[in-house]
Amino acid sequence: MLSAKGKITEQMKDWAHIVRIDSNGAVHSDEEFTQYEAEEMIGFTEVFLIYSFSLPEMVKIKQQAARH
């Protein structure tokens, strides 16, 4: 699990669980995603990418700037 490895926060874990449960039905049936479900998945994905990739790089850049 990403949360057990410290890759996402507890709040992100909870959000991922909600998105996964809500969207799982649409993935495994003939039902289409609702606008709300799609927006939730997009929102989680954006936050996950920022937290996992953008934020660590931003901190690294700020740390390097502070050393100079």
Is the confidence at residue 18, as pLDDT, over 90?
A: no
pLDDT band at 26 (very low <50, low <70, confident <90, very high): low
Q: If you search the block for the tokens 């507890």, which residue do you land on?
A: 10
- Stated pTM of the model: 0.70
Contact 11, 21 (CB under 8 A): no
pLDDT band at 32 (very low <50, low <70, confident <90, very high): confident
- 15-20 contact pairs (CB < 8 A, 24+): 15/44, 15/47, 16/44, 16/48, 19/44
CA distance 10 to 2: 10
